[in-house]
Structure 1
Amino acid sequence: MSAAGLVRACHPEPTAAVTALSGLLALRLGHDAATSALVVAAVFTGQLTIGWSNDLVDAGRDRAVGRTDKPLATGRVSARTVRVALTVAAVTCVALSLALGSAAGVLHLVLVGCGVGYNLTLKRTVFSWLPYAVAFGLLPAVVSLALDPPEWPPGWMIAAGALLGVGAHLVNVLPDLDDDAATGVRGLPHRLGPGRARVAAVVVLAVASVLVALGPGRPPAWAWAGLVVVGGLVVSALRGRGATPFRAAMAIALVDVVLLVLRS
């Protein structure tokens, strides 16, 4: 019970997604197997640090609104267990990050700091989007700076990552707007309201799609095909009803990730 609750409390879906993205970028940028594994391990422990700190900070709010999907709120895992796991993950993250080299390591710790800063304060402000923009924008740089010799990724990749992060933030918060509002969380999506937040998410993710597909030189045929798919999803996200807009926006984010990896 405690182990399952601990896994659930780390936010396994985004943890797995960001970790997988870092690994795919490492392979595409030419890292050998050992360094790719180190990149994945560092990012994984960083995401665990962010996820567990999020649930610890939000435990009282989650109990107040009856979140049955939150293990700390339902008692499936104790706060002490999560704190111990968080401490181990954070210490391991620092060691693994610095093993990537000083530039990549420090940058990755800045990325993790953005996530923790969001959990502690920024999620309640109009700047709730900023940690996502910085963290997703920096992720390709962490991977490329771990090369020997280190190198910065192209500007389009950083910009596309930042836009993808903002879009992911807007989409991720949409299902929880009511619960958040009931406990005093007033980030950017809450201030926009569900309708405008949905439109903003779709627009940001669509711009990211265009930037990735057209940014790095002459786009291949499959990049144009990706844009056509995104165009259809944009229509579904803006005109659909019920859960369709949310699912379409999530699908756009997925296409953006695929394009980003393939065009890197």
Structure 2
Amino acid sequence: MTRAPVLPSLAAAAHGGPALAVTVVAALLGVAADLPASSVALVTAAVLAGQLTIGWGNDLVDTRRDQDVGRSDKPLATGALSPRLVLGCLAGAAVACVGLSVAVGGRSALVHLGLVVAMGHAYNLGLKATAWSWLPYALAFGSLPAVVSLAEGRWPDWWLLATGALLGVGAHLLNALPDLADDVRTGVRGLPHRLGATGSRVLAAGLLTLGSVLAVVGPGGEPPLWAWLVLVLVGGLAVASVLGRGRLPFQAAMAIALVDVVLLVAR
């Protein structure tokens, strides 16, 4: 068998897209919080290292399950990567994650390692198959703003934590939709699988819309006009995610998630 190039395969096994998205959000939060450039760089690197461990850990744990359902997009399942190589990369990323997190600051490190990274691995190691599959996402995404702000010793406002948590649960519900059937075949029965595709999509739209509202009104004072206009857009997307047909509901819910990220950073 001809092996695929190693670096693209490692990126795929690490769930490169989601890992990069979370890392970019952390970097943008750091910039929006006016952290020094050195702190932004450290936080960004620490978050990226942590996300790599979670992605590689997920594919290592799920290798047999991915083989059983014929996942051709999973390098470990197809044999394009050896488990030993991925495990070595995971160990290296874990060491880097701990070192970088400690360099950011003690309190930030405790939150990052104890909530964001630990919850990601708790999901991989069992919670994903239970009705509590949403909890790691709520805690990890809800804690991410604290990882950033604690780099300068500040605890973030409550609405930032709540918006992050709602965004995390909504992302979990949407992320699970493409693989619902394969997951059920291999014994995974998380919250999205219990709700079904329609229930998951509707709940995700509701949670993400609530997150948008919190991001607009949470900071207090009179929100700017553009923020109200964004809420009108979110309302239209929420209607489309519930009443639309075909791919439109999923795309509309994903658009709300993107708007939430923008609001989280901008507000």
TM bucket, shorter chain = over 0.9
Q: Which residue of 2 aligns with 1:245?
A: 249
**1:146 match:** 151
AA at the equivalent of 2:117: V
Give the match for residue 55 of structure 1. 59
CA distance in 1, matches of 2:251, 2:56: 26
Q: Distance in 2 between matches of 1:201 and 1:118?
A: 19
CA distance in 1, matches of 2:13, 2:52: 9
CA positional deviation for 1:194: 1.1
The 2-side partners of 1:74 and 1:227 are apart by 44
Q: Distance in 2 between matches of 1:195 and 1:96?
A: 41
Deviation at 1:227, TM superposition (A): 0.7
Q: How many residues align?
A: 261
1:178 aligns with 2:181: yes
Q: 1:260 is matched with which residue: 255, 259, 264?
A: 264
Hey, what does 1:5 align to over in structure 2? Answer: 9
Aligned residue for 1:137? 142
Query: Which AA in structure 2 matches 1:179?
Result: D
Aligned to 2:111: 107
Percent identity among equivalent residues? Answer: 59
- Amino acid of the structure 1 residue aligned with 2:61: V
Q: Give the Cα separation in 2 of the matches to 1:227 and 1:71.
A: 41
Shift of 1:99: 0.7
Tell which deviates more after alignment, 32-41 or 232-241: 232-241
User: Does structure 2 conserve the Cα–Cα contact (< 8 Å) formed by 1:233 and 1:248?
Assistant: yes
Q: Is contact 1:170-1:201 (8 Å) kept?
A: yes
Q: What displacement does 1:106 show? A: 1.0
Partner of 1:121: 126
> TM-score w.r.t. structure 1 length?
0.97
TM-score normalised by structure 2 residue count: 0.96
Alpha-carbon RMSD across the aligned residues, in angstroms, is 0.8
State how 1:198-217 maps to structure 2 within 5 Å.
198-217=201-220
Equivalents in 1 of 2:226, 2:16: separation in Å? 30
Aligned to 2:84: 80
Q: Structure 1: 5+ residue runs without aligned partners?
A: none
Q: Over residues 149-202 of structure 1, what are the superposed CA-to-partner deviations in whole Å (9 max), with x where a residue is unaligned?
A: x01000011011101100000010011100000000000111111111111111
Counterpart of 2:50? 46
- One-letter amino acid of the counterpart of residue 253, structure 1: A
Displacement of 1:77: 1.3
Structure 2: give runs of 5+ residues left out of the alignment: none
Tell me which of 92, 95, 111 is aligned to 1:91: 95
Q: Distance in 1 between matches of 2:188 and 2:223?
A: 41
Tell me which stretches of 4 or more aligned residues in structure 1 moved more than 2 Å.
none
How far apart are residue 3 of structure 1 and its match? 1.9
Counterparts of 1:122 and 1:136, CA distance in 2: 16
